[in-house]
Amino acid sequence: MSKMRPLVIGIAGGSCSGKTSVTHAIYDVFREHSVVVIEQDYYYKNQSHLTFEERLKTNYDHPLAFDNDLLLEHLNRLLQRKAIDKPVYDYVNHTRAEEVIHVDPKDVIILEGILVLEDKRLRDLMDIKLFVDTDSDLRIIRRIERDIKERGRTIDSVIDQYLTAVRPMHNLFIEPTKRYADVIIPEGGENEVAIDLMVTKIKTILETMSIV
């Protein structure tokens, strides 16, 4: 492991745009070279003091839903080559899980999440900023499938949340952060050309850091 400052890559984009798919595609190439993924979702505020019904009223697409102070503290620790205990988020119960994941410092940090480009403090830590750009009709179709299969939701609750929070917050807070991106990746994980270009760029940076 190098003693240089780790490389920080931020990957933003709307819900179900393909952020996780792009993250995994990049992670798979660099896993041999020490890379860690930090999901902004895992830093949703702890809501264990609220009832389940109260948690359903939270706007999960607003910047204030996230504990970015803790996220920043953890990123700064990783940048100082110190380990962190990363929280885990339980989407079914809408709160932080009991367990944490111990994460050792790595040469490359990938930070992914809907609003990672919204907070200037996070942006300022990033060496490369990406925005995954996928049409909203595709994103809602993916979200309906995913939230019903994986997050214990009904079709009515997914549609209601989409119309009252996901869509308006996307337009207000997520879409405008596209302007901060160095690269906009259309269609996410299926965009092999964009991912190859990013991989080449990251390799070049790591070479200059004498990591690969």
Ligand X SMILES: Nc1ncnc2c1ncn2[C@@H]1O[C@H](COP(=O)(O)OP(=O)(O)O)[C@@H](O)[C@H]1O
Residue 175 vs 190, nearer CB to ligand X: 190
Integer Cα distance of 66 and 151 in angstroms: 19
Dihedral, 138, 140, 146, 147 alpha carbons, nearest 10: 180
Q: Is 116 in the site for ligand LLZGTKA7 (CB under 6 A)?
A: no
Among 30, 44, 66, 131, interactor with ligand LLZGTKA7 by CB under 6 A: 44
Integer Cα distance of 194 and 198 in angstroms: 6
Lookup result for tokens 């070479």: 207
Among 12, 16, 38, 174, interactor with ligand X by CB under 6 A: 16
Q: 123, 11 in Cβ contact below 8 A? A: no
Residue 111: which H helix or E strand, with range?
strand 108-112
DSSP-assigned letters across all residues of 115-145: TTTT-HHHHTT-SEEEEEE--HHHHHHHHHH
The one of ligand X, ligand LLZGTKA7, none whose footprint includes residue 189, by CB under 5 to 8 A per kind, is ligand X
Among 8, 166, 181, 185, interactor with ligand LLZGTKA7 by CB under 6 A: 166
Count, residues near ligand X per rule CB under 6 A: 14
Nearest distance from residue 209's CB to ligand LLZGTKA7, in Å?
30
Other CB atoms within a 10 A radius of the CB of residue 13 amount to: 30
Q: Is 15 in the site for ligand LLZGTKA7 (CB under 6 A)?
A: yes
The one of ligand LLZGTKA7, ligand X, none whose footprint includes residue 61, by CB under 5 to 8 A per kind, is ligand LLZGTKA7
Find out whether 164 is annotated in a ligand binding site. no
Integer Cα distance of 137 and 141 in angstroms: 6
Residue 61 vs 107, nearer CB to ligand LLZGTKA7: 61
The one of ligand LLZGTKA7, ligand X, none whose footprint includes residue 41, by CB under 5 to 8 A per kind, is ligand LLZGTKA7
Nearest distance from residue 166's CB to ligand LLZGTKA7, in Å?
5
187 contacts: CB under 8 Å, gap ≥ 6:
18, 133, 134
Residue 80 vs 93, nearer CB to ligand LLZGTKA7: 93
Residues that bind ligand X (CB under 6 A): 13, 15-21, 142, 146, 187-190
